[in-house]
């Protein structure tokens, strides 16, 4: 399918391109950019996001990016957590690298992780999302299965747009719809950037 080909391309592609440095100080690797009136289009793979130009501080060449500034925690996943991620990825036809990277960014593979907003478990499901998915967020296997199913559904919703799907996973589909793309939230941009880097280095 189209979006799986896109994900596999992301997972195996090189890092040539440039970095967009945002007003928040966060960075995102992109293939290229274009100025479009008061907005900037940031291209990656076969798609792009469009954000207000005042949200972009500067564009840097790929070689200017610091080696570890946006690196994810180095801790390796517990084998049981990795097995849950791989099983859920296989069940929903997602790249294992992607599901592992989302799990790392969300909970660092901690089965009992609880965010200050109430998100629960390995892939940090909100209780309302878990209820909609019909899973128990406190059960690790159900939590990860639900998270992978939710991510798959978002990828289908956004026609394979990985950044849009990850933004919706982090900030909610409502935020993506409000900004007609990736919302200019530092937390969300960092989340996407971390997963993008983690997938490519696995």
Q: Which residues are catalytic?
A: 106
How far, in Å, CA of 202 to CA of 200, rounded? 6
How far, in Å, CA of 200 to CA of 105, rounded? 14
How far, in Å, CA of 126 to CA of 114, rounded? 10
How far, in Å, CA of 135 to CA of 149, rounded? 11
How far, in Å, CA of 136 to CA of 99, rounded? 19
By residue count, the chain amounts to 202
How far, in Å, CA of 72 to CA of 68, rounded? 8
Which helix (H) or strand (E) covers residue 51, if one does?
strand 47-52
Q: Which residues contact 182 (CB under 8 A, 6 or more apart)?
A: 49, 51, 163, 164, 167, 176, 188, 189, 192
Q: Give Rg (Cα) of the chain.
A: 16
Q: What is the largest CA-CA distance in the chain?
A: 49
Q: What DSSP designation does 120 have?
A: B
Which helix (H) or strand (E) covers residue 28, if one does?
strand 27-30
């Amino acid at each position: 399918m189209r979006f799986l080909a896109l994900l596999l391309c992301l997972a195996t592609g090189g890092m040539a391109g440039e970095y967009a440095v945002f007003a928040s100080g966060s960075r995102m690797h992109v293939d290229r950019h274009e100025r479009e009136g008061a907005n900037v289009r940031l291209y990656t793979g076969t798609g792009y996001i469009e954000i207000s130009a005042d949200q972009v501080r500067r564009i840097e060449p790929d070689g200017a990016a610091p080696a570890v500034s946006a690196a994810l925690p180095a801790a390796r996943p517990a084998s049981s957590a990795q097995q849950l991620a791989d099983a859920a990825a296989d069940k929903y036809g997602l790249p294992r690298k992607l599901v592992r990277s989302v799990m790392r960014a969300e909970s660092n593979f901690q089965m009992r992780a609880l965010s200050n907003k109430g998100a629960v478990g390995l892939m940090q499901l909100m209780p309302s999302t878990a209820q909609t998915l019909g899973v128990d967020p406190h059960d690790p296997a159900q939590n990860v299965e639900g998270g992978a199913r939710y991510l798959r559904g978002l990828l289908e919703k956004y026609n394979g747009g990985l950044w849009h799907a990850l933004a919706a996973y982090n900030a909610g589909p409502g935020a993506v719809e409000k900004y007609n793309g990736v919302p200019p939230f530092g937390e969300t941009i960092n989340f996407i950037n971390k997963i993008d880097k983690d997938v490519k280095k696995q």
